[in-house]
Structure formats: structure tokens, C-alpha cells
Amino acid sequence: MIVALVAASLAALLHVYIFVMESVLWTTPRVRATFGITSDAQAEHTKPLALNQGFYNLFLAIVTAVGVALVIAGGVGPASEASPAGLALLLAGTGSMLAAALVLVVTDRSKARAAATQGLFPLVTLSALLVSAVA
């Protein structure tokens, strides 16, 4: 369970960072380069889309963080003994993160590195929860 909680916490932190990039720093040179935005006009044109997408990432981070907090508050033991609400939030948050990473790589193979980055911690979380549930 500890591995799942650490991985979920790291996934949440990463998604907060993605929120900051997409919703706060979208038009800065570094973030523009990260996302392949080549002009000021393109950055301004895509800014509302990035803002919305950033908040989506923030909300996934919040769901996941609340799940972590509820599981910890209920005592860290096997998944079968953890807070049902906390587990549900962990599954919903990290499951959505992993699904989004899969959509990213399936729709654009050139984004495989970004998909792996955003999907690794959710995959570890879900795998650890599965192992903990069957143990």
C-alpha cells in the first residue's frame, strides 16, 4: 500500500506541475517549446484550450490527493482494509490519468515520452493497489 500511496502522490504532484504549465505559464518560451508552440499567435490562440486542459489535470491531482489522504487517515494496511472512499478516489484519479496517457500515445506516437511520463506513476499506483488487493 505504501508504494501505491507514494506513486499516487507523485502522480498528483506531476499533474499539478502540468496544470501550472498549461494554465499559468502557457505563453512562456520554455512551456511553448515543451508543447511545440512555435509562435506568439499560436500560443494566444490555444491559450483557452490549454487553460481548460490544465484545470482538468489539477482536478485529477485533487481527486488523487484526497484519495491518498483518506487512505492514510484510515490507516495504511492492505487494500482490503483501506478506506473504501479513499481507494475509489485513488482508482478514479490515477485510472483517469493512465487512460489519458494511453489516449495521448495512441493518437500521436510522437508523444510517447510525454505519455510515459504522465502515465508511469498512475500505472505503478494501480499495479500496487492490485497486488495489495490480492495479497
pLDDT tens for the chain, residues 1 to 135? 899 999 999 999 999 999 999 999 999 999 999 999 999 999 999 999 999 999 999 999 999 999 999 999 887 666 557 788 999 999 999 999 999 999 999 999 998 999 999 999 999 999 999 998 877
User: What is the pLDDT at residue 60?
Assistant: 97
d(CA 40, CA 47): 10
How many structural domains does the chain have?
1
Within the chain, where are the H helices? 2-19, 29-35, 40-73, 84-107, 112-134
Range of the domain at 73: 2-134
What's the pLDDT score for residue 108?
92
pTM of the model: 0.88
Residue 9 CA to residue 15 CA, distance in Å, equals 10
